[in-house]
Amino acid sequence: MATTFEVLAEPRRREILDLLRAGERPVGELVDRLTLTQPTVSKHLKVLREAGLVEVRQDAQRRWYRLCPEPLAEIDAWLAPYRALWNARLDALERHLDTMPDEEDPS
């Protein structure tokens, strides 16, 4: 099984997740929004479903997909040290800017 990172490496899969962030959507709407063929969208949805990133609900003839954010915790955990690195750099920049004299108004 592919890792969450491998699954999200595909830009169209990230687009699908972006669309599902707003809420549950039927496959047909995803096809229309992505301007891809239905079989292509279905293949991407299958990979996302197998990775646990989306869930499907069947309503008569329609399949509705929704985001499952839990597997994204793996990505968040991996990003945490980088986020801390940027926070430290931004804090250092703020301290540096605080020590600089304010420019006087030339008027």
Decide if 106 is inside a domain: no
Decide if 31 is inside a domain: yes
Decide if 26 is inside a domain: yes
For the chain, the domain total comes to 1
Decide if 73 is inside a domain: no
| CB 71, CB 53: distance < 8 Å | yes
Q: What backbone phi and psi angles, to 5 degrees, belong to 69? A: -75, -15
* Residue 12 belongs to domain with CATH number: 1.10.10.10
Residue pLDDT tens, the chain, 107 long: 578 889 999 999 999 999 999 999 999 999 999 989 999 999 999 999 999 999 999 988 899 999 998 988 888 888 888 888 887 778 788 888 888 887 776 66
Three-class DSSP category at 66: strand
Domain that holds residue 54: 4-67
Decide if 36 is inside a domain: yes
Decide if 58 is inside a domain: yes
Decide if 14 is inside a domain: yes
Angle between the N-to-C axes of helices 38-50 and 11-21, in degrees from 0 to 180, rounded to the nearest 10: 80
pLDDT given for residue 3 in this prediction: 85
pLDDT given for residue 105 in this prediction: 61
pLDDT given for residue 107 in this prediction: 61
| CB 7, CB 46: distance < 8 Å | no
Decide if 46 is inside a domain: yes
